[in-house]
Amino acid sequence: MWKCRGPENYCNIFSGIAKPNRLLFQKFQSVFPYGFARYNRRQQLQRPLQLITNTRYNIESLLEAVGLSRDLQHKLPHELSGGQRQRVVIARAMALNPEIIVADEPISMLDVSIRASILFLMNDLRTRYQVSYLYITPDLASARFFSDRIMVMYGGHLVEIADSSELIRRPSHPYTQLLLAATPSKHRKKTTLPQKGYGVPNLWSTQKGCPFAPRCLYVQDACHVTRPPWTWITSTHGVACFAWDQFRIGAGAKNHIKFENIP
């Protein structure tokens, strides 16, 4: 999820037009799945947190902001559960009062039972501290819960972008449809995944056509030789596909999967 808030510089930095300066670096923080690996196992948590917040009060308020007890600062890393560790990683990211946090699969290594609580926490911090997230995940279900806008990438290429609800209800790229079909849902009958094979894209090749062509059910001759052009279906919904209007949900194609029942 990324709300482009604040100076326009952020948009330019993400798109590679501008380089971030030292001041802007403070406004960007990151949360990784194994962010806790950088902590020294022999140091109490107080120490790494002190490096960025030099008062005891700040450490305690930081820990409380992420739902942890203030006594936790005296513990060693191995004494924490996986969920507590990820909360500490989030606390550290929040310490510099960032405006954007790049959250790269922040719940992927957590037990399923506590994934939701971490997402709720991040959502809560967003409201309380006006922070935005660039949330990177292969899981469309959590992206839909957590994001305002979703960008779908395949083989290093952006293939579709839309507001979350629009993308879920009217996926217009075959890869987005495949991701949705692979998402468990009580509303959908068991179905085979809409793809030809399981090949992975060759990121080293100088392939000219569509990167999804080897797996696409709707592949055409042009898909093998030309990169599909970017099309704006609406002012906020864009897709890179030659045939998006032929198999789009509701377009009458035989093979499409029905997602209308997804709440």
The smaller minimum CB distance to ligand SF4, of residues 32 and 212, is found at 212
The smaller minimum CB distance to ligand SF4, of residues 154 and 259, is found at 154
The smaller minimum CB distance to ligand SF4, of residues 90 and 178, is found at 178
d(CA 181, CA 260): 12
Q: Minimum CB separation from ligand SF4 for residue 158, in Å?
A: 13
> Reading across the β-sheet that carries 100-104, which strands appear in turn?
28-31, 100-104, 132-136
Q: Minimum CB separation from ligand SF4 for residue 95, in Å?
A: 43
Q: Minimum CB separation from ligand SF4 for residue 191, in Å?
A: 19
Alpha helices in 130-202 (DSSP H): 140-146, 164-169, 174-181
Calculate the alpha carbon distances from 30 to 26, 37, 120 in Å.
Answer: 11, 14, 17
The answer to whether the CB of 257 falls within 8 A of the CB of 181 is yes
Q: Minimum CB separation from ligand SF4 for residue 257, in Å?
A: 15
The smaller minimum CB distance to ligand SF4, of residues 97 and 202, is found at 202
Number of H helices, E strands in the chain: 10, 7
Q: Minimum CB separation from ligand SF4 for residue 166, in Å?
A: 19
3 state DSSP class of 136:
strand
Q: Minimum CB separation from ligand SF4 for residue 233, in Å?
A: 13
Q: Give me the phi and psi of 48, to 5 degrees please.
A: -65, -30
Residue 93 token pair? 């990211």
DSSP labels, 145-157:
HH-SEEEEEETTE
The smaller minimum CB distance to ligand SF4, of residues 29 and 195, is found at 195
- Residues in contact with ligand SF4 by CB under 6 A are 173-174, 210, 212-213, 216, 218-220, 223, 228, 241-243
191: which residues sit within 8 A by CB, 6+ positions away? 181, 257
The smaller minimum CB distance to ligand SF4, of residues 122 and 210, is found at 210
The smaller minimum CB distance to ligand SF4, of residues 4 and 251, is found at 251
Residue 140 has what DSSP assignment? Answer: H
Give the residues across from 238 on adjacent strands: 161, 232
Q: Minimum CB separation from ligand SF4 for residue 149, in Å?
A: 21
